[in-house]
Structures are given as C-alpha cells and as structure tokens.
Amino acid sequence: MFSNPFFQKDSPMLPHTFPHGGGAQAAAQAWQCDVSDILDLSTGLHPNGVPDWVANWLKSNADLVAQYPDIQGEPARSHFAEYLGVDAESMLITAGAQAVIEVIFQAMPWQSMAIEVPCYNEPIRCATRAGCAVHAFEKHTLLPPTDMLWLTSPHNPTGEEKVFPKNRQGVLDESYMPFAQRKNLGVLDGVIRLGSLTKTFCVPGLRLGYVVADTTTIKQLQAWLSPWPAPTLALHLLPKLLVEAKQRDEMIVQARKRLTTLLEKHNWQVQPSQASFILAQPPQNMPDFAKHRILVRLFPEWQQLQNWVRLGFPNTAQDWQRLEDVLTTSS
C-alpha cells in the first residue's frame, strides 16, 4: 500500500503515481509508428491546432530567439492584464501554469490543502513534496477545514464548472475556463488565479501561463520563479493570440456538442462538460484505442474512474471518422 506521511487517513486514497496526458513520442515508440500516425485526444488542447498564421509569424520574428525574455514578462503582461481588466502589477506571466504549481507550496505558508478528487494530480504531488498535508474530499461532501483549497474550474477530469466558495483562501486553476469568464473575475481576495494559455491556442511547446493575485502574493511567488518568465517568442506572440480567444472558445463549444452527440449515439455515458474534453464511459468494454493509434487519457491511478476515459476533440473530418470507426467497432 502507498505510504504518504501527509495523507489524511479519513480522506479517499490518493494516487502514488502521477500520469499526465500527452506523451505522443513514447506512444509512437510503444506502438512502433510515427508520431504523425497518432491521433492525440489525451490533452485537451484545442482541436484546431496552432493558428495557421503562427508559422509565418515565427519565421518573421525569428530574431527574437536571440533576446533574453523581459523579466516582467513584457509585452505579454501588459496586454493580458488589460485584456483581463486587472493591473499589470497583479499579474505574472509564467512558463506554463505548471511552472507555478511546482513552487507554489514553497512560496506560500500553507500547511494543509483541500482538493476534490479525482483530480489533476500535479497539485497533490507538489503539495506532498513540500510537506503540505493533502486532505482529499469527494463531490457532495463537506470541505475539510484546511489552510487552503485547490479548486479547478472547469474541473479536470469531469469538465464540471465550479465556484470558489466565499471566505476560503487558495488557488483557482482556470486553465480550461472560457476567456469570457476569465475576463469577469478580477483580483479575488485571498485567491490565486492560475491559468494556462497553451490549451486554447495549442502552443504547449512555447510554455505560456499566468497568475492573477494581490501584489503581495505576486511578489511571494516571483521570488521562487525563474527571472525569465517565458520564452521571448511567447511573450511577443501572446498579444496576437488574444485576438482569437473568443473565436477559439466558440469552436470548443461546437466540438463539445458534436462529441457528446457522437458518444451518446453509441450509448456511452457522458459527463456534462464545460471544458475542452469530455469524460465518458462505454456501455461495455473499453475500445482498443491503442490498436487504432488513438491516444486518450485513462485513469489507472483513480479507482473511481476505472472504465472511464477522458477524450479531447478531433479536428478534421478524417479524425472524426477515425474516432467513430473505433466506437462503431466496439459497439
């Protein structure tokens, strides 16, 4: 049995492994195929991929790779702060949301964390490593009386929208939240807003994330982060990407409706979602996605999610047909 000195015995069992979506290179080696042969539905990245114009923009701005990133994250910080309606001093631009998750428990004086399970595993791993006690709770149960709450909205992996409770402190992970909602939140008292910018714009290789919080908390976090917040190219690209945020969110809504319809057509149980993925369960046995070179997110670490799968959205008509063929074969 997994032994974790910071695990609370009255909480649901926490995982001892911390798998993640992605890993197309490793899958290609295991399946003895090229990465280009794999349909990756495991990450929740935007199905339309990188905006078409980005390749030309990167080529035209290749000289930026010879420049160190601005230590304040400019010009990305000012543009994104204005977009969200907050002061630039209340924002950090980071090398993905994960850069902050890795150090947040060292930076903040938290001794205990409450987190709803099943969940995205990295906060558990990083809290445990820092000596912060993890109190897991399940949906519809009382929140444990901890120093802080880690809340993800939409929740990962269910896709359910969550509301941060009043009079609680902690972290709101909004990595899958539509941008229209992010623009309405502002600086929340006692809450660190944490988000990824790579999901919507499909640029995980450029590592873009952010924090919105009061200025004191910003300084506490900044002391633990690298002096170079994100690649120079990413800092200059973000203002261009933000123009497409609304349109890309609308594409997610349409893709989510399409996948829900497809899964229900084949009698799958579908968890209602507000994210760029859907959690679903087949009517009988799990399809052999690997046989068809389709990468999905299964959850061997969570007993509650056995025989459930999280699916991102295909893009092209060929990819949609490829997924439907697997569902048809397993029906």
pLDDT of residue 1: 29
End position of a domain, from candidates 175, 210, 244: 244
Q: Are residues 150 and 294 in the same domain?
A: no
Q: 294: which strand partners? A: 39
In angstroms, the CA 127 to CA 252 distance is 32
Summarize pLDDT for 169-209 with one digit per residue, the tens.
Answer: 999 999 999 999 999 999 999 999 999 999 999 999 999 99
Mean pLDDT of 87-112: 97
Q: Are residues 318 and 196 in the same domain?
A: no
pLDDT of 310 above 60: yes
Q: Are residues 207 and 251 in the same domain?
A: no
Q: Are residues 196 and 139 in the same domain?
A: yes
Q: Are residues 98 and 225 in the same domain?
A: yes
In angstroms, the CA 195 to CA 197 distance is 7
pLDDT of 7 above 70: no
CATH code of 73's domain: 3.40.640.10
pLDDT of residue 19: 84
Sign for the pseudo-dihedral over CA of 262, 151, 82, 240: negative
End position of a domain, from candidates 216, 244, 272: 244
pLDDT of residue 246: 96
Mean pLDDT of 66-87: 97
Bond before 15 cis per omega within 30 degrees: no
Provide the residue range defining the domain that includes 152: 63-244
In angstroms, the CA 179 to CA 81 distance is 13
Amino acid at residue number 173? D
Bond before 154 cis per omega within 30 degrees: yes
Share of the chain above pLDDT 90, in %: 91
Q: In the numeric block, which tokens belong to residue 192? A: 């660190």
Is residue 266 domain-resident? yes
Contact of 46 with 156, CB cutoff 8 Å: no
CATH code of 273's domain: 3.90.1150.10
| Cα-Cα end-to-end distance for the chain | 36
pLDDT of residue 20: 85
Mean pLDDT of 226-241: 96
Bond before 12 cis per omega within 30 degrees: no
Is residue 145 domain-resident? yes
| Total domains, the chain | 2
E strand or H helix that includes residue 321: helix 317-330
CB atoms within 10 A of CB 7: 18
